[in-house]
Structure 1
Amino acid sequence: MKITVDRGVMAEAVAWVARSLPSRPSVPILAGLLMRAQGDQVVMSSFDYETSAKITISAQVDEPGEALVSGRLLADIAKSLPDRPIRLTAGTSAVELVCGSARFTLQLLPVEDYPNLPEMPASTGSVVSEDFARSVNQVVIAAGRDELLPVFTGVRMEIDDDRLSLLATDRYRMALKELAWNPSTARAEGAALVPARVLSEAARSMSSGEAVQLALAGDTANEGLIGFEGDGLNGTRQLTTRLLDGEFPKVRHLMEIRGNVTVRCNTAELIDSVKRVSLVAERNSSLRMAIDEDSIALDAATGDQAQATEAVEAAITRDGGDVEIAAVGFNPHYLSDALGALDTPFVQFSFTAPGKPCLVQGLAELDGEPDVDYRHVIMLMRLPG
């Protein structure tokens, strides 16, 4: 194999594929990055038996062929090279990389020992890449990080004709986003539990094109596999991953909150206020929101060492229910995440009781209707006393 490729294109492509490489591979061969050159293209790929990543970039191919090298090392080298064309020449036991006056020699790994990448399933449908990226970002913040509870580290993807739903929870918060998409068949239906990390990477890295293709396998050979395909910065990308096993908790009904008290305020102002007051919030302590007639007051403290309080103008509505809500407690990080996920100038909080879940929704106008396509629920913390 002998190729010449732009340094920026090479560095970005290798870095993206290398991100899917396991940090501690079960077998050494899985640390490899496979390069296949043919025609005027080079295909780079990685696979760890769970997730595969593949990118196709343009290159000058003088001699077609393939080479398997250490992916992370190649990524580090490509990132550090000067802005000159890179020439790669693979021999029988090593590959030589030349960029300007810089020259590297990397040992080749045995290609014959490398596993075959799974085939990309047939397309189930497509979604506008910009909408997909924004929607995924709004949902994955609520996914769990604890690998000991894998079912909570996923995003449940539900297909109902031309509606695509994304749902995630870590047991203390949950997020639901519904968006339009283009199914490949009429009356399409299906559900899948996708690792949030892979879903986030697909949405983030395939936003340069018009649409992202979703491929949920229905055949026996690829059962439990989902694929994503779209255009990135410098080439076409494909990601496949095994779906998570386990029963996702039935939490959709928790989104149907009818608040006794609603609070509406400016999103940007509240984000800034939460950031400031949270600076003195003690670890694992709540950020208190006191609800007045035409404002809310945020306060937090670290024992007697530091305290902070700040008022934010708000529109308060009380329906005269049996429960009087004077103050509620939020995990400050969860509140910041929920507010940051909104793409509307105003926000609405719906409360039923001080210790019950709170519904967060966006508002295009202060006196308008809340956004029903994105809903975020936060479990409130118990206030001291």
Structure 2
Amino acid sequence: MDVTAPAHRLSAAVSTASRLLPARTGLRLRADAAGLTIAGSDSDLAVRLTCPATSHTDGSVVVPAAPLVETLKVLDAELVRLVVEGSRLALRLDNARFALPLLPETSAVTDALAKVSEVDGAAFASALRIVAGTAAKDDPLPLFTGVRVQSSGAELTLTASDRYRMAVARLPLRTAGDLDVLVPASLLTEAARAASGVVGLHTGPGRFGVSWAGGLVATAVLDAGFLSEESIPSGAVDTTVSLSADALAAAVRRVGVYAEDRRVLTLEVGDAQVRLASARQDTGEAEETLKADVSGGRTSPSFQARYLLDALGAFAGERVVLSIQPGMRACVLRAAEVGEVALTYYLMPMLPR
């Protein structure tokens, strides 16, 4: 194999593949007339990315990912030439040479997945950043570490929850299709971050994949189980509050400084206003009042400040509507004006101190 590629483009592709794949997975580089393909796989995951390149001699090799990633990151050159030299892959510059050991050849990524539909990549990534943020990072039940990806007709629904909160985003599909899978949240977020333009959604037996111009990521799916918006009662709303999400978030940050270790603060709803209050025995107490549009009775739910900030961050720059239910039922947050992505955020209240 002998190929010349743009150093920064190759570095970006190799770094993305390395982040998606498990540690110590080798990367398979293949050069041909179409350019350079970077691929890797294990029993659960397959990644394939492309990089523009000029192939002088077609061929493929497998090299360790980590040293390739680190070497490309620090190169200060426009082009890099990759040449097989015996049992090494040499990275050549005008004034330098780096050589990586070749690993045993692996089979190419051959996941045969059927494309179900397509979605706008920017809207997909934006929705995933919010929804995947509510998934648990580590949980004995895989159900809570995934994002449920569902489509019915021309609408795509993304759902995730860590038991204390749930986010549901709906966005339009470019073509109608049926899909219902639970995908690891961290992997799906990373794949969406790398994607651009139109993103294809694919399925196969026990697998799910996303594709875009120059990339494909396919993974084994989790058990979708009962992760569903319908599992959260939301029909007992007795108070609604509408105000600036940014203003409320700023007040939460200030008042939250005085909260106890659990960082729980109280949202007291009054006539045309909300009052945030918290107290800490060793540092004192704080309260702040904001003007708001209020409908319904007075109520005083308590929330963990961090979770409330995460929820409000999903509506940054917008006016948010809080639909509050009595007792320990979830508070439902939605944007006052729905855009391309329709987001619903469920936040469980906390017992006050």
Tell me whether the two structures share a fold, i.e. TM-score over 0.5.
Answer: yes
Say yes or no: does 1:13 pair with 2:7: no
Give a deviation string over 1:37-63, Cα, whole Å, max 9, x none.
001400001212212211111111111
Give a deviation string over 1:179-206, Cα, whole Å, max 9, x none.
211336xxx4331111111221222211
**1:347 match:** 320
Say yes or no: does 1:201 pair with 2:183: no
Q: Is contact 1:44–1:54 with CA below 8 Å preserved after alignment?
A: yes
**Residue of 202, 205, 217 corresponding to 1:215:** 202
Q: Is contact 2:233–2:329 with CA below 8 Å preserved after alignment?
A: no
Say yes or no: does 1:229 pair with 2:211: yes
Say yes or no: does 1:358 pair with 2:331: yes
Q: Which amino acid aligns with 2:116?
A: T
How far apart, in 2, do the equivalents of 1:265 and 1:280 lie?
Answer: 23
- The equivalences for 1:1-385 within 5 A come to 1-23=1-23, 31-111=25-105, 114-183=106-175, 188-207=177-196, 209=197, 211-217=198-204, 223-231=205-213, 236-245=214-223, 247-254=225-232, 256-318=234-296, 325=299, 327-342=300-315, 345-364=318-337, 373-384=342-353
Give a deviation string over 1:125-150, Cα, whole Å, max 9, x none.
11111221222223112211124221
How far apart, in 2, do the equivalents of 1:163 and 1:349 lie?
Answer: 24
Q: Which stretch of structure 1 is more off in the superposition, 33-42 or 348-357?
A: 348-357
Q: Which amino acid aligns with 2:142?
A: P
Change in Cα spacing, 1:280 to 1:78, as seen in structure 2 (3 Å) is: farther
- Structure 1 residue 370: deviation in Å? 11
- Structure 1 residue 100: deviation in Å? 3.9
How far apart, in 2, do the equivalents of 1:298 and 1:12 lie?
Answer: 45
- Structure 1 residue 102: deviation in Å? 2.9
- Structure 2 residue runs of 5 or longer lacking an equivalent are none
Q: Is contact 2:30–2:61 with CA below 8 Å preserved after alignment?
A: yes
How far apart, in 2, do the equivalents of 1:279 and 1:3 lie?
Answer: 56
**1:28 match:** none
TM-score calculated relative to the size of structure 2:
0.93
How far apart, in 2, do the equivalents of 1:95 and 1:192 lie?
Answer: 40
- Structure 1 residue 155: deviation in Å? 1.1
- Structure 1 residue 160: deviation in Å? 0.9
Give a deviation string over 1:205-254, Cα, whole Å, max 9, x none.
113x2x1110112xxxxx111111113xxxx1111010013623344242
How far apart, in 1, do the equivalents of 2:64 and 2:285 lie?
Answer: 51
How far apart, in 2, do the equivalents of 1:258 and 1:149 lie?
Answer: 29
- Structure 1 residue 99: deviation in Å? 2.7
How far apart, in 2, do the equivalents of 1:62 and 1:256 lie?
Answer: 62
TM-score calculated relative to the size of structure 1:
0.86
Q: Which amino acid aligns with 2:245?
A: T
Q: Is contact 2:240–2:321 with CA below 8 Å preserved after alignment?
A: yes
How far apart, in 2, do the equivalents of 1:72 and 1:90 lie?
Answer: 18
Change in Cα spacing, 1:152 to 1:205, as seen in structure 2 (3 Å) is: same
Q: Is contact 1:157–1:193 with CA below 8 Å preserved after alignment?
A: yes
- Structure 1 residue 307: deviation in Å? 3.5
- Structure 1 residue runs of 5 or longer lacking an equivalent are 26-30, 218-222
Taking only the aligned residue pairs, the percentage that are identical comes to: 29
Q: Which amino acid aligns with 1:169?
A: S
How far apart, in 1, do the equivalents of 2:341 and 2:191 lie?
Answer: 25
How far apart, in 1, do the equivalents of 2:330 and 2:227 lie?
Answer: 16
- Structure 1 residue 371: deviation in Å? 10
Q: Which amino acid aligns with 2:250?
A: D
**1:220 match:** none
How far apart, in 2, do the equivalents of 1:359 and 1:303 lie?
Answer: 31
How far apart, in 1, do the equivalents of 2:200 and 2:316 lie?
Answer: 24
Q: Is contact 2:249–2:309 with CA below 8 Å preserved after alignment?
A: yes
Change in Cα spacing, 1:128 to 1:246, as seen in structure 2 (3 Å) is: closer
How far apart, in 1, do the equivalents of 2:5 and 2:278 lie?
Answer: 55
